[in-house]
Every structure is written in C-alpha cells, then in structure tokens.
Amino acid sequence: GPRRPTVRPVRWAREEPPGGGPVAAVDAGVRQTTAPLVLVLSADLPFLTPETVRALLDGIEGAGGGQGTEGVRATGGSQATEGTDATEGTGATEGIQAIGGVQATGGVQGIEGTVLIDSDGREQPLVAAYRAEPLRREIALLATEHGGLGGLPLRLLVSELALARLQHPTASFDCDTWEDITTARARIREHGHVLDEWIAAVKAELGIDLDVDTAALLDLARDAAHGVARPAAPLTTFLVGYAAAQKGGGPEELAAATEKAAALAARWAEEQ
C-alpha cells in the first residue's frame, strides 16, 4: 500500500505495477537489500513472535549456525536422506521438515527457505525466510517466462525452491476478514486473563501478597531479551525480585528495582 506514518524509520518499497500481486511485491522488497537472507512477513499476523521468526531463520542456517535442528527430515529429491534426524542442540528448532532436493545432516544443507505451515498443513509463503540469491533467481526466471511479474501467484515463485517447513498454527493465524480480527482480539484478551490467573496462583503457592506490575515486568523481560540475549529475560526478572526482597519486598522496592534494571538494559543495548 501507500506510505503511512510509522513509529520508527522504515524503507518503503512498492510493487510495479501497484497492486500487481505478491510476486511483484516480493521482488520490490528484495531489490532494497543485499542481505543473504530475506524475511517475508505479511502484516496481518497478530501472533507472530520473535521466537518464530528466529525458528524460520534457523531452518535455513542449521539452528543458529552449527547447532543441530531438532526434528529435521529430508524427503524427496535425489540428494534427500529420508527420515534423517539431525543432532539435537541447545538452539534446536522443533518441527522443521525439509522438502525437495535437500540433505539434512546435523544442520540443514541445501535449504533455500523455511516456510510456515498452518494447522491444515498448508504452506504460508508470506510467513517465511528465504535465501536471497535463489529467490532472485526464480524471480528473474518468472519475469522472463511471463513477460513480467504482475498478477502471478506466489506458488509459482516458491514451487521451485528447496524449502523446509515449520508448523506453528498459532503464528500462522492471519486476519483476512473482520471475523478473523474478532477471533484474534478474543484470543489476546484470553491470553491476558490467563496471565492474571497464573500470577494469582503463583502468589498463593508462594504465600506472598504483592501487587505485580505485569506490564512493567514484561517490558523489562522484553528489553533484556532484545538488548542483551533471550536467556537474560527470566534471569533479569529473577534478580529484580531478589533485589526487591532484600530491600523489604514491597511494591515500591519492586518498582525501583524494575526501573533500574530497565535503564541498565537500555544502556547495555546502546553500548553493544
């Protein structure tokens, strides 16, 4: 669509002709980057998380570059090793299945992309990570064959790529209709309700009575995960709780410790 206000600077690209379809749109985006890997993420995915995006990338890179990819299976193609299970590693990506002419041995070799599949097993090529060069290759071939990219279905672009598939029904949920939006909002409200119930249960189990600023702690966990490393999130919130307990354990002490840790996470991210 046309340019619109954003909360941070972005680089805009639009397909030619405007409204020319997903293949033309992917081509417009790929032309804006020289990166070896390209993420294609549609804008109507309310439950897509950084963890799922990382899993898509790991499906190409072999679970973080050298670590195993749990649940990888290569099927089809003369180079395929059917039923091969990769070595399990700490950065493993569950549920990835390789398809096409690929070989999976301790990492994912020959994979040109990882695509999300929904609960019905359908591929979602607009929720995927691709190697840029194979993507450019297929785009060029399609443009030559059809005299342009306008109006072409996305399946023509991805059908010739060696893809791994990652099943994640929640992350693949997209909002195509107003009914989908209503369903998504209901799920989001339920998620918040479950958190409240869990916090109440934990406080009862631990025998504590404390007002918890859930939003502040979740923001802190997010900042620590993004600015430091993902494992820093639970460790940081634990240390904040411990520090608050050392100071008396009240809401004010918890808020002060949370604020200090959040400021540290921000400085850490800027300095790295």
Distance CA 132, CA 143 (A): 16
Q: Which two tokens stand for residue 2?
A: 């046309």
Q: Is the dihedral of CA 255, 260, 264, 266 positive or negative?
A: positive
Instruction: Give pLDDT, residue 31.
Output: 93
Q: What is the pLDDT of residues 162-206, one digit of tens each?
A: 999 988 767 777 777 888 788 777 777 766 667 777 777 777 777
Mean pLDDT of 219-239: 86
Decide if pLDDT at 272 tops 80. Answer: no
pTM: 0.56
Instruction: Give pLDDT, residue 1.
Output: 66
Q: How confident is the model at residue 142 (pLDDT cuts 50, 70, 90)?
A: very high
Least Cα distance to 236 among 259, 253, 213, 215 occurs for 259
CB-CB contact of 138 with 160 (8 Å): yes
